[in-house]
Amino acid sequence: MIKKGKHLGLFIFPFVLPLPLPMKYSVMALIIFIINLILLLKKDFFLNLKSIVINPLIIIFLLFFLTDFISALTRLNLEGKIFREVKISFFILPIVILIQKKLVIKQFANILKSFFYGVLTYIVFVWGYLYYFYTIKHPSFIFDFTDHYVIYVLARETPNSIHHTYIGLYILLITILIFTNTILYKKINTLIGLFLTLFFLINSFYIGGKSTTILLIIFLVIILLKSVFKGVKIKGFKYYILGLILTVLVGVNGIYEWLTVSVKQSLGLRIDIYKRCIEVALEALPFGIGKDKLNNIPLDNNLIKGERLITHNIYFNELIINGFIGLFILLIMIFYICYVGYRSSIIFLLFILSIAITGLIEDLFVRQGGILFFVFFTCIFYVSKQKIESFKLL
């Protein structure tokens, strides 16, 4: 029987997910995670099956996985994709994790530590590549932290770089884990916690997305306010405030040139996209048109062979594909997880809020990077909700 390193497979996926690797390696790591949990099943695991079958999270995730099939039935049209393989983790992962709930709770801190080191590795890698880019590949280029080309290199030139919204969400989660672990739960030394918080925050400006960085700043302020209202004594409180303000100022100054151009471009594009989404959604109601048809809809209604419509919004995407049924199930899923997060921990609540809010400007559920992140950590926080406030990240 497996003895030494029997839990190793549980830590590979959270470490690999934020690494600059093709997504197939994250999928493989998740399969290893699932197999590891199955191999460690005890003989009496079937005793928990009844409670798992009626678990609200599993039911809601299963319904979301089946939305394409359900909406196809309502349209009386089963042609095309009625099961999307990209959503398979909504079906499998919560069942396996809830069956092995006790083991996952026991390894909760180690799973989060693995994710922390994965995100840290990604940050070190992209800045290492930036150094290589300016000193070896293009030594004639002049490096300047305030030059918008730095953002371009980090996002576009770096091999296998992760989409800025996804890595922004990864950084956001790690930062709020560190920050709450420092000032609310007193599990990390104050100076170390402050340094790591500001380190990940400044990297969010350069590596993450605009929306995720703004959310991170807001969430940090919320955590500070929560600690004040709870009467938590924060050693060096003024240094937290000063450090946060200075880091935000340095970050904004560093990306200001890129920010002024990017905001104008992305805002105008998003407005055009959402106008088109409303047009398509009204035509698609009440039962939606399916994923295949959405893939063939042009962004410009007057250009049949033009650029295809990408919704950049989880709510529009679900409404157009699966109609009112899909949108209703999506909203029920988000509201239920928000409720559980509110009842259990600020970390869990802020995590799901980051998904729900970012989903307004990015369709997080069309890529594995967004789906696996959401499903995995929702399940991890859900089963470990009683331990979130007592775990030690570092």
Instruction: Determine the Cα–Cα distance for residues 242 and 240; give it in Å rounded to an integer.
Output: 6
pLDDT band at 335 (very low <50, low <70, confident <90, very high): very high
pLDDT band at 2 (very low <50, low <70, confident <90, very high): very low
Instruction: Determine the Cα–Cα distance for residues 368 and 370; give it in Å rounded to an integer.
Output: 5
pTM here is 0.93
Q: Please list, in sequence order, all residues whose beta carbon lies within 8 angstroms of the beta carbon of residue 232, skipping any fewer than 6 positions away.
A: 183, 184
Structural domain spans, the chain: 9-383
Question: Which of 34-48, 153-167, 256-270 has the highest average model confidence (pLDDT)?
Answer: 153-167
Q: Are 77 and 359 in contact (CB under 8 A)?
A: no
pLDDT band at 257 (very low <50, low <70, confident <90, very high): confident
Sign of CA dihedral 200, 311, 352, 110: negative
Q: Are 326 and 288 in contact (CB under 8 A)?
A: yes
74-126 per-position pLDDT tens digit: 888 777 677 888 899 999 999 999 999 989 999 999 999 999 999 999 999 99
Total residue count of the chain as it appears in this document: 394
288-318 per-position pLDDT tens digit: 998 888 888 887 766 545 678 889 999 999 9
Q: What angle do CA 10, 378, 371 make, to 5 degrees?
A: 85
Mean pLDDT of 237-243: 81
Mean pLDDT of 195-215: 93
Residue indicated by tokens 């770096």: 158
Q: Are 255 and 148 in contact (CB under 8 A)?
A: yes
Instruction: Determine the Cα–Cα distance for residues 171 and 204; give it in Å rounded to an integer.
Output: 7
Q: Are 220 and 172 in contact (CB under 8 A)?
A: no
pLDDT at 8: 92
Half-sphere exposure of 234 (CA within 13 A, CB side): 24
The yes-or-no verdict on residue 69 having pLDDT over 70 is: yes
| DSSP state letters, 19-77 | SSS-HHHHHHHHHHHHHHHHHT--TTGGGGHHHHHT-HHHHHHHHHHTHHHHHHHHTT-
H helices of the chain, in order, are 9-16, 23-39, 49-53, 56-65, 67-74, 88-99, 101-106, 108-132, 148-152, 164-183, 190-207, 210-229, 237-284, 291-295, 314-344, 346-358, 368-383
Pick 253 or 49 by higher pLDDT: 253
pLDDT at 20: 93
Instruction: Determine the Cα–Cα distance for residues 139 and 143; give it in Å rounded to an integer.
Output: 9
pLDDT at 185: 84
